[in-house]
Structure 1
Amino acid sequence: MECWFMADYRKILVLLLEGRSYRDVVEIAGCSHRAVARVSQEIQARGVTAADSVSDADLAGWFPDGRRKVSEEYDQPDLSRVLASMKANRHFTLLLAWRRYVDTKDLGKKYGYSQFCALFTDYVRSHDLVAVLNHEPGRAMLVDWAGDTIELVDAVTGETTKAVLFVAVLPFSGLMFCCAFIDMKSPAWLDAHVQAFAFFGGVPQIIVPDNPTTATNRSHPGDAERVVNARYQQLADHYQCAIVPARVKKPRDKASAENAVNVVNKRVIGYLEDDVFTTLAELNDAIVERVREINHDIRRADGSTRWERFDA
């Protein structure tokens, strides 16, 4: 979702008058190409040559932001308090936070649950995701596609296709889920999440994807910020959880997922690469056995297995 507040049009104005390119302005001001184009049009139409000659009132008149007016009609949830409650109580959920917010007697409209989750997602992204992903049981599930693939061989023609592996991990216990698909399109991505929920026996409060196109997209071409796409958000709404994409070039946001992918590459794909699979079902049966060993048999430095930590 886009931020509720207007773009920093003064910063955009100053940068354009300095002769900066659209791309430079987008990166420095953290805005969209559309916002830059709007400012550029006003500069040309009004013959602006110096930023000092434009007042804040002028900018507000040139670039009215209806979203601010709309947001003022609603009671704004105390998201910092929600975040603190989630840290203090591992059983505190976004659904509970939303119900408490709706039950308050403050005047004004109340956001629906879906929009409440979207606001929380945006708040978490802007206040350092790591503070929320404090590796507490049931808090988050990190998801990604494994980089390597496994070949499927047609039993009749001998033609090969590449199967891709979806990986999900619970960072507190390290418990992993993995399954193969014939592509990385949206139906496979969503089905993989449903299978992961069934495997873990529940739904986490937060899902953290690594910005694949099946999960996020840019609101406008050139935007640095990516937003959760509609179909993925519908899945989150149905399961009453929030999606918080890992920040670009912030490896600590997705360290557990990257570690899980490395384990899958070595202990699943590496073990199975010499075998011949003719169907996706046959491959997934083999993956189940490999994942069972990873979760139940391999002991870590503290002597525990992933499953023992998860079960405890």
Structure 2
Amino acid sequence: MIKYREILRLHSQGISQRGIAASCQCSRNTASAVIQRADECGISWPFEKDLSDSELQDLMFPEKALPTSRKIPDCEYIHREMAKSGVTLSLLWNEYCEQCRLSNEIPLMYSQFCRYYRKYANTTKATMHIDRKPGEQLEVDWAGQTAQIVDRITGETIKAYVFVGVLSCSQYAYVEAFLSQNQECWIAAHVNAYNFFGGATRILVPDNLKTGVEKSSWYTPTINKTYHEMAEYYGTAVIPARVRKPKDKPNAEGVVGNISTWIIASLRNQKFFSLRELNHAIQEKLAEFNIRPFQKKPGSRLSVFLEEEKSALMPLPATPYELAIWKTATVQFNYHISVDKMHYSVPYEYIKHKVDVRITRNVVEVFFNNHRIASHVKLHGRVGQYSTIVDHMPDDHKNYTSWNAERFISWAEGVGPNAATTIRAILSAHKVEQQGYKSCMALLKLADKYSVTRVEAACKKALTYTPQPSYKSVQTILKTGQDKVATEEDPTPPSNESTANFGFTRGSGYYGGEQ
């Protein structure tokens, strides 16, 4: 609004209109018009009663208070359209004029159209200071500017991405460089930040990056599973900032700018040959940054943190969070899942079901509908290894795998000594003991079919033929019933004396021998 009071006061002191215009930041024509209209209305400084600028305007220019006959533009619609790419005020004014022509209304001139919009736009830029409670919130972000390290061998320059975490109350900051912005580095940065602060906050405020938020939504954002698990481990909640709303985490945005100047830019002339060297230099600069005094309030980030916020942080768990990677797998017909070319068993009831797999450095856990159904020690080394738990197998598979050499021999000894000898012979006939398991299992099945007594007799019969009988020889004896013949006949061979009792016994002379 025009400074009517100041114009009339300076005019009463004999100041020129040029000087009045420069002092009141208005044009000379405006100052001249105000002075002329005040003379016409009989108003002069000092006033008989105190009048404000708006009251003076109503007295001297009552026509300004009258509603305009021209159509007032929809400033809210204009503001929404201006957020779209390629839309300008000139384009919107042309569309506004076209609408007025169709509705037989008088449009505003372009300058007045812009004035109405600027007035509305200024009201949308209102900001509010929010007092943060100590220990309540940690704002995290990746700095836009990167640091650099140099490869010792090739001399190649490698980018290092800078993580920034800021406590909202004290603005105490943590900074660390990483070679990537992947999930592993993102989680490690949070764990190191909590260790640096000595406690955890109740709320985490990240951006909508994929390592933190899988699906952005102001009402129901989908948090990355690994990130959510880490937050649960520390007892904190993840509340991501809105998309393209940096004011949702102003401290992190502000500190990122300061970090870019006071840490990253200040190290630009130094060469680092490892990430460890770079982070050591960053920690030195960070310590200086945190103890720098505030410009508009007493103390520093470190002093406010120690006095107000450190005691309000939640205590950390006994051990730091261990990074876990989540994957989805399908249980195959052999009731195993494949993870990093290794195979882990799950209960056979989940064959062809999709399961969630949680992988840490030492453990592989399998979940179905958020219930853990299997846990294995992670396999390392040669690919294609199997980790199988017997309880996960069907009953018939359990019975098969539970047989070994000792158990086969123990079973055979219960049948008889000949069966035990036969089993040992079958097992020793192969270079690898396991090669004889199938033959031993088949011999066990023969006992179910023919009875244990007949198997023992068949083994005895087979041992009279060879000291290394096979499963086939025993099976043939049982099929032909030779084991029964052996038991019915007198096993002792006839002597030479008994042959003389037979009348048809022929001597050697009958067969051409000498008398």
TM-score range with shorter-chain normalisation?
A: 0.5 to 0.7
- C-alpha separation in 1, matches of 2:273 and 2:219: 42
Counterpart in the other structure of 1:135: 132
SS class of match (1:204): coil
1:188 paired with 2:185, answer: yes
Per-residue Cα deviation, 1:216-239 (whole angstroms, up to 9, x for no partner): 1128xx999642110000101111
Per-residue Cα deviation, 1:79-117 (whole angstroms, up to 9, x for no partner): xxxxxxxxxxxxxxxxxxxxxxxxxxxxxxxxxxxxxxx
- How do 1:154-303 residues align onto structure 2 when only pairs under 5 Å count? 154-218=151-215, 226-303=221-298
SS class of match (2:249): helix
- How do 1:103-118 residues align onto structure 2 when only pairs under 5 Å count? none
The ranges of structure 1 where at least 4 consecutive aligned residues each deviate by more than 6 angstroms after the TM superposition are: 222-225
SS class of match (2:132): coil
Tell me if structure 1 keeps the 8 A contact 2:202–2:236: yes
- C-alpha separation in 2, matches of 1:300 and 1:280: 33
Counterpart in the other structure of 1:311: 306
Q: RMSD over aligned Cα, in angstroms?
A: 2.4
- C-alpha separation in 2, matches of 1:224 and 1:154: 45
Instruction: Measure how far apart 1:248 and its partner are.
Output: 1.4
- C-alpha separation in 2, matches of 1:140 and 1:224: 19
SS class of match (2:146): strand
What amino acid sits opposite 1:248 in the alignment?
Answer: V
In 2 relative to 1, CA 148–225 (structure 1 residues): closer, same or farther, beyond 3 Å?
farther
Tell me if structure 2 keeps the 8 A contact 1:206–1:242: yes
What amino acid sits opposite 2:245 in the alignment?
Answer: K
- C-alpha separation in 2, matches of 1:224 and 1:273: 42
Tell me if structure 2 keeps the 8 A contact 1:218–1:224: no
Tell me if structure 1 keeps the 8 A contact 2:170–2:305: yes
- C-alpha separation in 1, matches of 2:306 and 2:278: 27
Tell me if structure 2 keeps the 8 A contact 1:150–1:162: yes
What runs of 5+ residues in structure 1 fail to find an aligned partner? Answer: 1-129
Tell me if structure 1 keeps the 8 A contact 2:218–2:242: no
SS class of match (1:167): strand
- C-alpha separation in 1, matches of 2:281 and 2:244: 34
Instruction: Measure how far apart 1:305 and its partner are.
Output: 0.6
| Structure of higher CA gyration radius | 2
Instruction: Measure how far apart 1:251 and its partner are.
Output: 2.6
Counterpart in the other structure of 1:4: none
- What percentage of aligned pairs have identical amino acids? 38
SS class of match (1:147): coil
- How do 1:54-93 residues align onto structure 2 when only pairs under 5 Å count? none
- C-alpha separation in 2, matches of 1:151 and 1:141: 26
Counterpart in the other structure of 1:95: none
Instruction: Measure how far apart 1:299 and its partner are.
Output: 3.4
Instruction: Measure how far apart 1:297 and its partner are.
Output: 3.0
- C-alpha separation in 1, matches of 2:218 and 2:202: 28
Instruction: Measure how far apart 1:153 and its partner are.
Output: 0.3
SS class of match (1:288): helix
Counterpart in the other structure of 1:66: none
What amino acid sits opposite 1:150 in the alignment?
Answer: A
TM-score by length of 2: 0.34
In 2 relative to 1, CA 298–134 (structure 1 residues): closer, same or farther, beyond 3 Å?
closer
SS class of match (1:277): coil
- C-alpha separation in 2, matches of 1:307 and 1:210: 25
- C-alpha separation in 2, matches of 1:298 and 1:281: 28
SS class of match (2:285): helix
Counterpart in the other structure of 1:144: 141
Instruction: Measure how far apart 1:204 and its partner are.
Output: 0.1
- How do 1:19-34 residues align onto structure 2 when only pairs under 5 Å count? none
Counterpart in the other structure of 1:27: none
Tell me if structure 2 keeps the 8 A contact 1:177–1:291: yes
- C-alpha separation in 2, matches of 1:233 and 1:150: 29
Instruction: Measure how far apart 1:250 and its partner are.
Output: 2.5
Per-residue Cα deviation, 1:169-197 (whole angstroms, up to 9, x for no partner): 00111100000000000000000000000
In 2 relative to 1, CA 223–243 (structure 1 residues): closer, same or farther, beyond 3 Å?
closer
Instruction: Measure how far apart 1:240 and its partner are.
Output: 1.0
SS class of match (1:281): helix
What amino acid sits opposite 1:159 in the alignment?
Answer: E
What amino acid sits opposite 1:232 in the alignment?
Answer: Y
- C-alpha separation in 2, matches of 1:225 and 1:275: 45
- C-alpha separation in 1, matches of 2:293 and 2:181: 29
What runs of 5+ residues in structure 2 fail to find an aligned partner? Answer: 1-126, 308-515
